[in-house]
Amino acid sequence: MKIEAVWARSVRLSNTTLMTSYGSNAVERDHLFVAVATEDGTVGYGEGSPLPHFSGERAPEMQRVAAEVFAPALLGRDALDMEGAQQALRRALPHHGATKAALVSALFDLQGKRAGLPAHVLLGGAVATQVSVAGALGIEPIEVALQRVAELRAAGHRTVKMKVGADVDRDVRLVHAIREEHGFDVRIRADANGGYSVAQARRFAREVAEARLEYFEQPLAAHDIEGLVQLRASGLVPIAVDESLFSLQDAFDIARRGAADVFVIKLIKLGGLHVARKVVAIAEAAGIRCTAVSPYETALGVSANLHLVASSDVFAHDSELGVGVSSVAVPGVRELSFQGGRLVVPAAPGLGVEMPEGFFAPVAA
């Protein structure tokens, strides 16, 4: 079953994001969508919505890379040879994880359709039919954040991720304000996006210790693995890594050095589901828990993450998958089922999300 065609399209969609230690939020974002077709007419779809400040990719350039570099590397290949496809993408051009993630998702979608199986079965598991999702708070005034927590709880979310890293005093006050208003009925995780110094991170962890955070995500700069090791050894709070985890090799090194309790899994960092499942295997072996994060993607991108979560019980924390963080949709695409703080894992073959007819018609790779 040979790959006969690859299509790519960049689309700008309304999509409010969160204020973080990186800077201000945005009201529109560019998303990359791809389709991969085989000679028998089977078509798989994938999404790779980048975080430019995070990985350096932007969707318009991703569309060109997909068409001019990655499509030629895939055309004529066996669509069932996932490892071969991943290696072909690696040889064609390094990095570009979000673009690769979109194409790999499309291949899983295609394979699932051919086999009549949902993608999580191809990934090796079916341990969940629903996935609990967390809500999120940007860096905003405390009174605004508290109102947001109340809204998230009313929508069924039981975990709140708060962005920190710009002002330790404000961050500590907010943690205690949430605990005072909501008690321990809501789980709290804090994400500094590498915005703290070692001293600031230690202070924050120490001053919120009684609040029992679920975990403290990327407190230090991505390169400071030794700092993460020392902070984790303090025993003040579990440590999660995000910006420090961009590859299979990163995962191995972090696990070997004991730098994290939690891996934040983002397909756009790792190059897609195939490599992500290998990172999950390292986590399984090392006793590290995982959280799937894809906050600004449409139903297509979110579905890929749901299938990954359903493939392993190492995903012990609520995922961050669109709902409760942002809301973005492609007209004509059916939304995923969300109720009581949980998203339903699609049971249809492949990823379980179809794109509108003619969506890729203007652009062929």
Q: Which residues are catalytic?
A: 163, 266
d(CA 88, CA 86): 5
Cβ contact 229:256 at 8 Å? no
Cβ contact 280:311 at 8 Å? yes
Place of tokens 């440590």: 239
Per-residue 3-state assignment (H helix, E strand, C coil) for 92-159: HCCCCHHHHHHHHHHHHHHHHHHHCCEHHHHCCCCCCCEEEECEEECCCCHHHHHHHHHHHHHCCCCE
> Amino acid letter at 62?
M
The dihedral through the CA atoms of 356, 11, 29, 100 has a sign that is positive
Residues 6+ apart with CB under 8 A from 170: 142
Among 257, 253, 321, 265, residue whose Cα is nearest residue 289: 265
**Any idea what DSSP says for residue 185?**
G
